[in-house]
Amino acid sequence: MYRIVYTKEAAKTLHKLPRNASKLIREKLDDIAANPYVQHNNVTRLQNRSGYRLRVGDWRVIYEVEDAQLVILVLKLGSRGGIYVNERASDREGWTA
């Protein structure tokens, strides 16, 4: 079983979520931690970067699987509309058009 580790930002966001949403996200992550490579509902591999996206209602969880340490690193949690905004902006930095 993989261990679940949250970044500071993800832990803070998880703490601020409504209790039922927070509990449901933790349950889904526990299911994934049992075997991260089995096909799970609402999990999609991210394009143009490493990691996965878990959809839980209107919330999204961005995470990576670290096989060497048996860790699932939760990078970011957010609402459906806002989770990708900063990701896109940071991905474009350093690009020349």
Q: How far is CA 31 from CA 55, 84, 96, in A?
A: 13, 24, 41
What is the pLDDT at residue 79? Answer: 86
E strand residue ranges, 3-91: 3-6, 43-45, 52-56, 59-66, 71-79
0.85 surpassed by pTM:
no
Measured CA angle at 68 (ends 84, 33), to 5 deg = 60
Query: Going from the N-terminus, what domains does the chain have, and what CATH number goes with each?
Result: 3-90 (3.30.2310.20)
pLDDT, tens digit (0-9, with 9 covering 90-100), for 71-83: 999 999 988 877 7
pLDDT, tens digit (0-9, with 9 covering 90-100), for 7-44: 999 999 999 999 999 999 999 999 999 999 889 889 99
Mean pLDDT of the chain: 84
Average pLDDT over residues 56-64: 92
- The larger pLDDT score, comparing residue 40 to residue 91, is at 40
